A and B are shown apart, each in its own frame.
Chain A
Amino acid sequence: MIETALSILVGIFFAVAVYLLLSKHTIRIMLGVVVLGNAANLSIFTAGRLTREVPPVIPPDLYVPEIATANPLPQALVLTAIVISFSLFAFLLVLAWRAYQDLDTDNTEEMRIAEPKADPLPPLSY
């Protein structure tokens, strides 16, 4: 039940992320990157199955828990992914800010310094 709701939420997140990533303005693209990262994390979390209110305590005479508890591995994966995407996003923010300052535009169509529009053709004869 809760898995279904979360799956729909993940779908909405992906839709919003794709919409924002397709934008021309760097700030919207950055927001799209954040939403995309969260969509990925939420989908890992959901794919790892959800269990509520079962403490992962093993009785002293057993080796494994008596009933199914939450799987810690998806949470570890999400944590790793959060740390990585957070640091990458911090870098991206600085990069986008520097690009905005130096290139004087936040419109990706006008960001043509590396690939100038009026690039001459190579010599066609020897």
Chain B
Amino acid sequence: MESASNPYGVDISQAMIVERVALADWLLVFPVALPLLAAAILVMLRSRPKLHAPIALAVIGVVLVSNVVLLSRVLDEGPFAMTMGRWLPPFGITFVADTLGVLLATTAALVALVCALFGSTSIDVTGKRYGFYPFLLLLMTGVGGSFLTGDIFNLYVWFEVFLISSFGLLILGSERAQLDGAFKYAILNLVATTLFLIATGLLYGVFGTLNMADIALKADGLREEAPLTMLATLYLVAFGMKAAAFPLHFWLPASYHTPRLVVGALFGALLTKVGIYALLRTLFLLFPEEGGALSGVIAIVAILTMIFGVIGALAQTDIRRIMGYIVISGIGIMMAGLALGDRMGLAGTVLYAVHSMLVMAALYLLVALMRKAGGTYSLSELGGLYRSHPLLAAMALLLVLSAAGLPPGSGLWPKVMLVKSALDGEGGWLAFAILLSGLMTTLALGRVFALAFWRPRVDGAVVPATPLDRSGMFALVLIMVPILWIGLYPEPVLAMADAAAASLLDPASYSLLVLPAGGGS
């Protein structure tokens, strides 16, 4: 149908894609296009909140399935790219399906499905009317777009998309604490994304291109004259702030405990991990040498983040705030892999990101169910839940073990990889810090389990065995399945994380994937 010539006799094949996009490639836009469309439809159905949950669940289910299909295709046939608007890369905006992006997008879709299920009963009609599900779907759009895009400015746009929807979710309920937390969250995250924008503007000034594959190709030729280390540092600060790395993490403990807990689960699982993903892309794909030069700084930041995070968790009474600090401590462990920078360390970071998405979502949902069962968030008042809610107690124990990096949970394997990588290289201190933070996480979360579940209530009252709402329990059981699966049979996910790490260390193959001809102008 498309011919290489048009009525004016111009050969457009030099600037545009002339052959048709393969039908299977269109799957790549599903994780972005579907939730965006569904969010728009749900906004129009604002007055019919009963329809929101089923539509959102169906759409997120389809997104999850298309991510799984994408993942299996990437594993079978290797990564592929698709450029929008028929412009040849680097002019069109490219979407890339590689193991790293699709693995994280799949995990994110699974977490969103579980949270959407949990929200169907825990968010009241007012919350739905104020747009819980549209915001959730827009958040999914932004997160999915961030994981799949191959264009650095497009990445900025997706960051803003999920930032704006996270504002909406954060203030759902308009309580005083929410306004307080949201203000700090909004200002500090806005500063971080503005830094990202500044870095991207300067990057365009240096490279004249925004396509990540093209930048990776051109970085070698420009290394002598251009201030690439400054760009890498700007990205480190911007994404470090988004990821809540010490000392730029203060927005997280100020805000993550204020929204509805299912929103906390979404945030704790997804948002900081997008920051880690962006760090992986910029420091390893775009600026590998400059990222290597920064590894000393990243190592110090990693150690401080994991230790200060868990010290914060030890000092809290409110179980919601404990979970916020556990998120931060996990970010430190992922940064450790960035500092190590070898294949096993990066694979450990990717695997830890997957683990952390699942476990943090599960922990926040657990807190919501503990609140329903025990009636409070305070560790000094909770107690006796083991006797009244044995199933919840069993899952809580598994989650505590998993978050602390003990078997049979999913946290064991990434930590084994990171510690092994640190000991093989010269990262003795990193290995020590990872093990120490693991011990302290066991203390912090083990105390939650001991006080809230084992100990009888302080006032001697017997906790009534009120049945918890079924979809909430089902959501928690659903997310326990992959956690235990990774813990007991890690081989498939381990192989994916390893493939992701290998591709991060080989920018040339990524460039070749997007720009088969070897670069544009």
* Chain A residues near B (Cβ < 8 Å): 21, 26, 29, 33, 36-37, 39-40, 43-44, 46-49, 63, 73-74, 77, 80-81, 84-85, 87-88, 91-92, 95-96, 98-99, 102-103, 108, 111-115, 119-123, 126
Can you give 22 contacting A-B residue pairs, CB < 8 Å?
A40-B194, A40-B197, A40-B201, A46-B205, A47-B204, A48-B201, A48-B205, A77-B204, A81-B197, A88-B164, A88-B190, A91-B186, A92-B186, A95-B171, A102-B176, A102-B179, A114-B177, A115-B253, A119-B316, A122-B315, A122-B379, A126-B451
Return A79 CB to nearest CB of chain B, in Å: 12
Q: Which residues of A contact B182 (CB under 8 A)?
A: 95, 99
- Contact indicator B183/A87 (Cβ below 8 Å): no
- Contact indicator A114/B254 (Cβ below 8 Å): yes
Q: Which residues of A contact B254 (CB under 8 A)?
A: 114-115
Known: A92-B187, A123-B451. A111 touches B201 (CB 8 A): no
- Contact indicator A48/B180 (Cβ below 8 Å): no
Known: A73-B204, A126-B450, A126-B451. 13 other contacts (CB 8 A): A36-B191, A44-B204, A48-B201, A74-B204, A91-B186, A92-B187, A95-B171, A114-B255, A121-B317, A122-B379, A122-B380, A122-B447, A122-B451
Q: Which residues of B contact A95 (CB under 8 A)?
A: 167, 171, 179, 182-183, 186
Q: Which residues of B contact A102 (CB under 8 A)?
A: 176, 179
Partner of B157, one of A80, A99, A108, A119: A80
- Contact indicator A77/B201 (Cβ below 8 Å): yes
Return A69 CB to nearest CB of chain B, in Å: 15
Q: Which residues of B contact A92 (CB under 8 A)?
A: 186-187, 190
Inter-chain contact count A-B, CB under 8 Å? 119
- Contact indicator A87/B164 (Cβ below 8 Å): yes
Return B343 CB to nearest CB of chain A, in Å: 35
Return A121 CB to nearest CB of chain B, in Å: 7
Return B399 CB to nearest CB of chain A, in Å: 19
Q: Which residues of A contact B178 (CB under 8 A)?
A: 114
Q: How far is the CA of A114 from the CA of B164 in the complex (A)?
A: 21
* Chain B residues near A (Cβ < 8 Å): 10, 153, 157, 160, 163-164, 167, 171, 174, 176-184, 186-187, 190-191, 194, 197-198, 200-202, 204-206, 253-255, 257-258, 314-318, 379-380, 447, 450-451, 455
- Nearest residue (CB) in A for B197 is A40
Interface SS of chain B: helix, strand, loop or mixed? Answer: helix
Known: A103-B176, A113-B176. A48 touches B183 (CB 8 A): no
Known: A77-B204, A114-B177. A33 touches B316 (CB 8 A): no
Return B446 CB to nearest CB of chain A, in Å: 11
Q: How far is the CA of A99 from the CA of B178 in the complex (A)?
A: 9
- Nearest residue (CB) in A for B451 is A123
- Contact indicator B187/A103 (Cβ below 8 Å): no
Return B84 CB to nearest CB of chain A, in Å: 15
Partner of B183, one of A36, A96, A119: A96
Q: Which residues of B contact A49 (CB under 8 A)?
A: 205
Return B16 CB to nearest CB of chain A, in Å: 13
- Contact indicator B201/A98 (Cβ below 8 Å): no
- Contact indicator A43/B202 (Cβ below 8 Å): yes
Q: Which residues of B contact A126 (CB under 8 A)?
A: 450-451, 455
Q: How far is the CA of A63 from the CA of B184 in the complex (A)?
A: 51
- Nearest residue (CB) in A for B181 is A114
- Contact indicator A113/B177 (Cβ below 8 Å): yes
Most chain B CB atoms below 10 A, which of A46, A87, A92: A92
Q: How far is the CA of A114 from the CA of B254 in the complex (A)?
A: 6
Known: A92-B187, A99-B183, A121-B315. A114 touches B258 (CB 8 A): yes
Q: Which residues of B contact A113 (CB under 8 A)?
A: 176-177, 179-180
- Nearest residue (CB) in B for A26 is B183
